Structure 1
Amino acid sequence: MKNELIFNSDLHFEHKQWRRELFFWEDELRSFKNRLEELVNRWTDKKMLAQLEHYQNQFLLQAEAINKLEDEINIHEHNISESSKKGYDILDTLFVKKHIEFRNHMETQRNIYHNLKGEFFRFLTEFMIIKNPIKKR
């Protein structure tokens, strides 16, 4: 098995990609929350309001998860910076292992977010189009 070197710049590049992805999720969540507020003002049906509350809670959980991921990236970036200041451009095995674990964590969160988003859009389709409270003429 060939040993490959992993450089600080490689990890930094991946961190930048993750930050962009997290920023996009944050932006989407803001628009989802705005949509929920519109719907809460339009609906009085208890079942519908319960569903809206469910999504509101899920979006809050996602926002918390995003904040934690951003914090972890910042810590990892700090460690890379400290390593670079000491003149080390190649990371040790433990540090790379933590990075790989974080990569797996990002992938898991990506799947959770993707599934929630799909579920929310299916909900909107079902309740907003099929059961729209505004009568057609």
Structure 2
Amino acid sequence: MEVSAQTSDLEQIQSWKDEVNVTRESLRSMRSHLEEIAPNKKDEDSLAQVEHFQNQFIRQMEVADEMHHDLKQSAKKISNNGQSLIIHDDRPVDDVDVMLDRMQTFRKLYNELQEEFKGFSAFS
């Protein structure tokens, strides 16, 4: 029974890693699109929005990188049957339920950023 739960957790973590990779690629695409439309933005409000999105893309990419790293560590811990000690005071990786909660937050923040950027870039 332990093996199937372990396999299921590993499959879930791999799915999340794939999702994080897709998100990273999407962020790169949005950043590229922002670079294309930024020269057309001349007014002060638009320039502030461009800077806002630049900062948000940087931060979201940092979070995505952290998530990817932590998911790899979580998979490693599960694969080793909990024998390796992995400690992140600020980012626990040893509990699949905690990682699920983090993924849900990651998705929510990414989706909000994506929708906000769609609204901004639609007026380009």
The TM-score range, normalised by the shorter chain, is 0.7 to 0.9
Structure 2 partner of 1:42: 40
Report 1 or 2 for greater relative contact order, CA contacts < 8 Å, sequence distance ≥ 6.
Answer: 1
Say which of 7, 11, 19 aligns to 2:9: 11
2:61 corresponds to which residue?
A: 63
Q: What is the CA–CA distance in structure 2 between the aligned matches of 1:119 and 1:37, rounded to whole Å? A: 16
| Letter of the 1:28 counterpart | S
Please tell me whether residue 30 in structure 1 is matched to residue 23 in structure 2.
no
Q: Aligned residue for 2:90? A: none
Counterparts of 1:23 and 1:29, CA distance in 2: 10
Name which one, 1 or 2, has greater alpha-carbon Rg: 1
Task: Check the 8 A contact 2:37/2:121 in 1, yes or no.
Answer: no
1:83-108 superposed Cα distances (whole Å, 9 cap, x missing partner): 289xxxxxxxxxxx711011011011
Give unpaired runs (5+ residues) of structure 2: 84-93
AA at the equivalent of 2:36: E
2:98 matches 1:101: yes
Matched, 1:114 2:116: no
Give the AA of the match of 1:48: S
Unaligned runs of 5+ in 1: 86-96, 129-137
| Contact 2:34/2:50, CA 8 A, preserved across alignment | yes
Matched length: 115
Check 1:51–1:13 CA distance in 2 against 1; reply closer, same or farther (3 A cut).
same
Task: Report how far residue 44 of structure 1 moved.
Answer: 2.3
Do 2:13 and 2:71's aligned partners in 1 also have CA atoms closer than 8 Å? yes
**Percent identity among equivalent residues?**
27
Partner-residue secondary structure (3-state), 1:44:
coil
- Kept in 1, the 8 Å contact 2:27–2:57? The answer is yes
Contact 2:53 2:117 survives alignment (8 Å): yes
In 2: Cα distance, 1:10 partner to 1:16 partner: 10
RMSD (CA atoms): 2.4
TM-score scaled by structure 1? Answer: 0.75
Q: Normalising by structure 2, what TM-score?
A: 0.82
